Chains A and B, each alone.
Chain A
Amino acid sequence: MKLEELRFGTELLKRGFASMQKGGVIMDVVNADQAVIAEESGAVAVMALERVPADIRKAGGVARMADPGIILEIIDAVSIPVMGKVRIGHFVEAQVLESLGVDMIDESEVLTPADEQFHIDKKQFTVPFVCGARDLGEALRRIHEGAAMVRTKGEAGTGNVVEAVRHMRNIMGEIRGLQGRNDQEIIDRARDLEAPPDILLETVRMGRLPVVNFSAGGIATPSDAALMMQLGADGVFVGSGIFLSAEPERMARAIVEAVNHFEEPSVIASVSKGLGEAMKGLDVHTLREDEVLQYRGR
């Protein structure tokens, strides 16, 4: 087998990587110690950040890609995949993360957007991307740009699951509503959704998004995680919910178990016992419009 006969960075490898994350919990971490706790608690991957979303909200100012030093420390500390966030449209931050060896890049509304018109042309990269979406049109636009995984945007850093629920119901409900329609009607709907018609046809045929679909943005308890799984998520991202809770290690293990047993209320009950306080949380309706992260990128 000669090296030149190998193919790297194909669509199949990118989507395949995302498939390996299914049924798993991906946890935000800000240093190597947290990454080790996440791995030992059963996380399938970690998201390396400088601050968790709730602290990004507090800090204000422009939120950017994390310091490469932090990312490398985390890469060295764990054997599970390491993901990192870049600003929407900031393809140079993405090039930097790829060069560091990050396994998947999150083009994320949690950071301050760098481009208000264009998302990153993700097909130019060897590593796969995950992107946020609030509805089916947005999800399919991201897939068209090369995203190998979609996640609900939810409302990051609030510890309030309501927006993640809204976005997951939007996506799944729209797909269900299109079942049984003919191609002409589906293509017509693609215009309203501002979605690429071919990907919409594929989605309706499959009865689901053609890439792995996770939930993110406000998951703070084992029940929140199981709720998103029952609504159709393939897995969950937990941001501030773990390391801003009273007992991060127990919360991490409990959320992993709740995702594994998402249809067994008695298991969710037992892992939720005496977990201590979940993160404080924010009512989404009290946010000013410029504080709402999900409106970034569309």
Chain B
Amino acid sequence: MFTLSGKMRCSSIVGVKIGVLALQGDVSEHISAFSLALKATGRETGSEIIAVRKAAQLSDLDGLAIPGGESTTISRLIQKNGMYDPIISFDGGIFATCAGMVLLASCVDDPRIKTLALIDIDVQRNAFGRQRESFEADLEVAGLAGPFHAIFIRAPVVTRAAPGVEVLARIDSGIVAVAQGRHMALSFHPELGDDLRMHQKFIQKLEK
């Protein structure tokens, strides 16, 4: 018997190590969504999912998820905990939902949020309104067969995407899912539903 760890190969499937930024927000939902997504695609062996609270934990990750939460709070805690530069120089892929999308953008309509500028997009916060305007909808997502049931909670919208940014989904008022390089950013919360295809799409990106 061999003991597999890290990125060693187990037949043709590669294990991945994914961290979920655990400063504030729906961290446990992302951890369980990733764990189910890895299980569903037979990637459990050699894979690991951890909660990331310190910059040092970023070093051996293949991917990092920035969860939903309050973007003003998470932005403040990223700086306070000395994680701003380490996340910018992180060389894996980043999977960002809702507040995470706000943080990955180049520019946001709120000067108090220091964005990471890792995807070349502009984002408007709370673009659909307040909580009573939060909604669920079926979305067409590029590369997915069949609609994705998306959960939008006080969600942001992309108001500008640079030419190199791949637009994955739109809704009337704007772009709600994008990818650039190995990063993905979504206005909605796939971690709250049971459709794991967005998490799987991200894991596939990490393996390329």
Point out residues on A near B: beta carbons under 8 Å.
1, 3, 5-10, 12-13, 16-17, 19-24, 39-40, 42-45, 79-81, 98, 101, 103-104, 126-128, 256-257, 260
Contact = CB atoms under 8 A, between A and B. Distances in A.
B130 A101 contact: yes
18 contacts: A6-B137, A13-B136, A16-B151, A19-B25, A19-B29, A20-B69, A22-B26, A22-B69, A24-B69, A42-B72, A42-B73, A44-B73, A79-B126, A81-B154, A98-B132, A103-B130, A256-B77, A260-B23
Interface in B23-61: 23-29
- 10 nearest A-B residue pairs (beta carbon): A103-B131, A23-B24, A6-B135, A19-B26, A44-B70, A7-B136, A101-B130, A42-B76, A126-B132, A16-B192
Contact of A22 (B25, B112, B135): B25
A50 B110 CA distance: 28
A225 B127 CA distance: 32
A12 B136 contact: yes
A79 B136 CA distance: 22
B132 A44 contact: no
B30 to A, nearest CB: 10
A23 B153 contact: no
A226 to B, nearest CB: 14
Interface residues of B, number: 42
Contact of B131 (A17, A44, A79, A260): A17
Nearest to A235: B24
A128 to B, nearest CB: 7
Which of A12, A16, A126, A128 has the largest number of chain B CB atoms within 10 A? A16
Interface string B116-151: 000000000110011111111111000000000001
Contacts of A12: 136, 151, 192-193
B80 A257 contact: yes
Interface of B: 22-29, 68-70, 72-73, 76-77, 80-81, 98-99, 110, 112, 125-126, 129-139, 151, 153-154, 171-172, 189, 192-193
Given A6-B136, A12-B193, A81-B130, 12 more contacts: A12-B136, A13-B135, A17-B134, A17-B153, A20-B70, A24-B25, A44-B69, A44-B70, A79-B110, A79-B126, A80-B70, A127-B131
A44 B132 CA distance: 18
A8 B193 CA distance: 15
Nearest to B99: A20
A91 B45 CA distance: 52
A68 B80 CA distance: 35
A20 B25 contact: yes
B132 A260 contact: no
B24 A5 contact: no
Contacts of A104: 131
Nearest to B80: A257
A169 B28 CA distance: 22
A24 B154 contact: no
Contact of A16 (B27, B72, B110, B189): B189
A22 B137 contact: no
A8 B129 CA distance: 12
B183 to A, nearest CB: 21
Contact of A101 (B76, B132, B192): B132
Which of A21, A79, A101, A104 has the most chain B CB atoms closer than 10 A to its own CB?
Answer: A79
B131 A24 contact: no
A126 B132 CA distance: 6
Contacts of A17: 131, 134, 153-154
Nearest to A257: B80
Contact of A9 (B130, B132, B137): B132
Contacts of B137: 1, 5-7
B72 A39 contact: yes
B24 A8 contact: no
A137 to B, nearest CB: 25
Contacts of A5: 137-138
A293 B189 CA distance: 37
A260 B79 CA distance: 13
Given A6-B136, A20-B153, A1 B131 contact: no
Given A17-B134, A81-B131, A101-B132, A23 B27 contact: yes
